[in-house]
Amino acid sequence: MTVDINSWWIFLCAVGALNVVAWSASAAALYRRQGGLQSEIFAARRRQLVLSAVYVFGCAFRSVIPVYDVPRIVLHDSWLSSVVVGRSVATLAELCFVAQWAVMLREVSRTTGSSVGKVVSYSVVPLIIVAEIFSWSSVLTTANIGHVVEESLWGLSATLLVVSIVSMRTFFTGSLRLLLDCCCIAGIGYVAYMLMVDVPMYWARWVADETNGRHYLSVLQGLRDVSGRWTVSYRPEDWKNEVIWMSLYFSVAVWLSIALIHAPAARVRNAAAAPAVAPSRSLRYLRRMFDGNGLFVGMASPRDR
């Protein structure tokens, strides 16, 4: 199927504009609800709002000014189309996006007492930082093997998020559980796409470059190259491998980012559903010392008495 690049670009621009409007409406809605939210819940949602803003507006920028990084192919003859600008925007936006998931997962795992969720919530951002380093390596040197590692790490991070959410979803009911289920479905689809399409695509490109004896750039050469070289092209064959992932990335992924702003407060189904967290040995000792003086009366858990 031949893609009309101009029509595709108009679609990306329309989606980017819609996403900005949706984020703005979400911001207005959040502040209207401020009086009805607990202060800690409002603070958490405001944090999501700020992180989402960077991702939404970053993706909107990249929708209007798309860039195919390694071959330096662009749609507009402007310094804003340079790879160094586009990749910098992408890096900041993607780190904020994964931080949204870390914040959400930390909130949910804190409520359920899930050690799996807690560990994953602290792991995904460092994993994506490493992924971004490999992404920059590929962009600067033009060696696609870095993209293979980058996309594999994104797939691994998504897998960890899905596994941790699945391990906790039975604790919840109602709209939060529905949101978590939607996140799992989207995550499974994302992992499948990465493993079956994206990673193999970059691997095939790297193998082809190796077979053809491609000369790669040094990091310093790459920095000069991404700052000052770009080639304008509307040829469908130049963009055909970018159309699908960019279209999904600048739409579905952004909608998930905005949805996290409206996530219901994490509350377990009932008190019995939350795993009991045993007090530390030192705390139990202090309680026993002072219970006789009435300082800790009523505070010891049944298992301490």
- What dotted CATH number matches 5-274? 1.20.1070
Bridge-based pairing of strands 67-68 and 231-232 is unpaired
Q: Are 159 and 144 in contact (CB under 8 A)?
A: no
Helix (H) / strand (E) element for 120: namely helix 115-141
How much of the chain exceeds pLDDT 70, in percent? 86
134 has a pLDDT exceeding 80: yes
Q: Which region among 53-62, 148-157, 257-266 has the lowest average model confidence (pLDDT)?
A: 257-266
179 has a pLDDT exceeding 90: no
pLDDT in tens, 247-268: 999 999 999 999 999 888 766 6
Q: What is the mean pLDDT of the chain?
A: 86
DSSP-based three-state secondary structure for 267: coil
DSSP 195: I
Nearest to 90 by CA among 122, 105, 68: 68
What is the rounded distance in angstroms from the CA atom of residue 271 to the CA atom of residue 274?
6
What is the rounded distance in angstroms from the CA atom of residue 56 to the CA atom of residue 74?
21
Bridge-based pairing of strands 231-232 and 73-74 is parallel
Please report, for residues 59, 187, 260, the alpha-carbon distance to residue 166 in angstroms, rounded to integers and kept in the order given: 28, 11, 17
What is the rounded distance in angstroms from the CA atom of residue 264 to the CA atom of residue 277?
24
pLDDT (average), residues 104-131: 91
**Which residue intervals of the chain bear CATH 1.20.1070?**
5-274
Q: Which region among 97-101, 115-119, 172-176, 241-245 has the lowest average model confidence (pLDDT)?
A: 172-176
pLDDT in tens, 193-221: 999 999 999 999 999 999 999 999 999 99
pLDDT score recorded for residue 2: 58
